[in-house]
Amino acid sequence: MKLYDYYRSSASYRVRIALHLKNIDFETIPVDLLAGDHKNKDYKAHNPQGLVPLLVEGDNELGQSLAIMEYLDETYPEPLLVSGTALDKAYIRQMALLVACEIHPMNNPKVWKAYVGGKLGADEKQMQDWYHFWILDGLAAYEALLIKYQKAGAFTCGDTPSMADLYLIPQLYNARRFNVDLQAFSKIRAIELNAIKLDAFQKAAPEAQATAPADMPAIHGAKSPLLQPS
Ligand SMILES: N[C@@H](CCC(=O)N[C@@H](CS)C(=O)NCC(=O)O)C(=O)O
């Protein structure tokens, strides 16, 4: 298996966690978003959407992290990322989609940097407000839903990671990278800590990728301040 990805892309981070949780061997093909490699003709021949991640298995190429995860669950079911009762599964998808559809697209480089900053001419402060607003808005709902459904244990649904956590944790990485204050979200922060202690999450962290610069800030990797004794 091959994964086109970018070390700091949160959508790529989601799929890396899934692959590591399922112990699937994969090779990474880095696509440098900063250099604009995702917009090249060559990459667009693989993914006409010009987004990472993209999973390749034999002759088959698959984009969109949610589609990739559902595919992996069907072909490599151990452990399942979406499991339990029909209601549990709907809850897991609800939480994953909250991040995938309501938070992440608003802060994607093509929306936030290229359109809000570039085309609409927002200044740095306005851009930061935009970025923080969508994360805080979405995470407040995520925290409220954790309380409403009472399905969380160590993770969003019970005591093992599900697809919802694979969306939540990379989104928290982005939040911390851009200094969003997560103090109000105690349940979310507890899940984050449980997740980043796991090997699969550690291996998938942006800081652990071969292309990550040595001096990048430690957020979720082995040197995360969250993992240091207080
Ligand atoms: N819904 C897509 C989102 C993929 C996505 O937006 N990837 C970002 C990186 S996290 C990207 O390639 N952005 C390129 C851009 O915005 O120009 C998924 O879940 O795979």
Q: Is 8 in the pocket of ligand 1 (CB under 6 A)?
A: no
Domain limit, last residue, from 47, 75, 103: 75
Closest ligand 1 atom, residue 14 Cα = 19
d(C-alpha 36, C-alpha 40), whole Å: 7
Check whether 87 has a pLDDT greater than 80. Answer: yes
This prediction's pTM: 0.97
Q: Determine what percent of the chain is predicted with pLDDT higher than 90.
A: 99
Q: Are residues 11 and 117 in the same domain?
A: no
Instruction: Determine phi and psi for 211, rounding to 5 degrees.
Output: -90, 0
* Residue 80 domain flag: no
Q: Are residues 217 and 180 in the same domain?
A: yes
d(C-alpha 189, C-alpha 117), whole Å: 30
CA of 229 to the centre of ligand 1 (A): 34
Q: What is the largest CA-CA distance in the chain?
A: 49
Check whether 230 has a pLDDT greater than 80. Answer: no
Q: Vertex 83, ends 192 and 72: CA angle to 5°?
A: 85
* Residue 67 domain flag: yes
CA of 126 to the centre of ligand 1 (A): 22
Banded pLDDT at 112 (limits 50, 70, 90): very high
SS3 content of the chain, % helix, strand, coil (to 5): 55, 10, 35
Check whether 24 has a pLDDT greater than 90. Answer: yes
Please state the domain count of the chain.
2
Distances (CA, A) of 76 to 19, 90, 130: 9, 20, 38
- The predicted pLDDT at position 108 comes to 93
Question: Domain containing 183: what range?
Answer: 86-227
Q: Strands 27-30, 2-5: parallel, antiparallel or unpaired by DSSP?
A: parallel
What digits encode the pLDDT tens for the residues 100-110?
Answer: 999 999 999 99
Q: Is 151 in the pocket of ligand 1 (CB under 6 A)?
A: no
Reference 16, options 218, 200, 213; nearest CA is 200
Residue 8: exposed, middle, or buried by beta-carbon count in 10 A (0-12, 13-18, 19+)? buried
Residues 72, 22 contacting (CB under 8 angstroms): yes
* Residue 54 domain flag: yes
Residue 16: exposed, middle, or buried by beta-carbon count in 10 A (0-12, 13-18, 19+)? buried
What digits encode the pLDDT tens for the residues 168-199?
Answer: 999 999 999 999 999 999 999 999 999 999 99
Strand order in the sheet with 54-57: 27-30, 2-5, 54-57, 60-63
What mean pLDDT do residues 39-44 have?
A: 96
Q: Are residues 155 and 222 in the same domain?
A: yes
Q: Is 65 in the pocket of ligand 1 (CB under 6 A)?
A: yes
Q: Is 174 in the pocket of ligand 1 (CB under 6 A)?
A: no
- The predicted pLDDT at position 91 comes to 98
Domain at 153, CATH number: 1.20.1050.10
Residues 68, 2 contacting (CB under 8 angstroms): no
